């Protein structure tokens, strides 16, 4: 397990829904839905400052929605799809297909 990430059984539905209730965070998850792993900078919209994104990464990580791991001077982000699907079957599919 990566430090500062909840174990799969510690992922709570209310935390996942809170994290994905924000349009920016939901758009990030949609970009990661294909199983890709991208750097924080690649996922950061140009009009959003790094400090704001740091907050969003923390919310997503602490809720158990993403993996965040250091690689050199960057952090790599990926969706915890397998853990989320096991914990809440069908939830991610519904959220990813829903219209914003």
Q: What is the pLDDT of residues 63-75, one digit of tens each?
A: 999 999 999 999 9
Residues 6+ apart with CB under 8 A from 61: 4, 5, 67, 68
Q: What is the pLDDT of residues 40-62, one digit of tens each?
A: 999 999 999 999 999 999 999 99
3-state secondary structure of 45: coil
In what helix (H) or strand (E) does residue 30 lie, and over which residues does it extend?
helix 23-32
Domains of the chain with CATH codes = 8-93 (1.10.10.10)
The stretch 14-28 carries a mean pLDDT of 96
Asked if the model's pLDDT at residue 85 lies above 90, the reply is: yes
């Amino acid at each position: 397990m990566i430090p500062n990430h909840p174990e799969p059984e510690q992922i709570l539905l209310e935390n996942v829904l809170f994290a994905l209730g924000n349009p920016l965070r939901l758009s990030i998850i949609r970009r990661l839905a294909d199983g890709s792993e991208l750097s924080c900078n690649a996922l950061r919209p140009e009009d959003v400052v790094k400090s704001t994104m740091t907050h969003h990464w923390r919310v997503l990580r602490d809720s158990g929605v993403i993996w965040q791991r250091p690689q050199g001077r960057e952090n790599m982000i990926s969706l915890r799809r397998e853990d989320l699907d096991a914990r809440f079957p069908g939830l991610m599919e519904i959220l990813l297909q829903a219209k914003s």
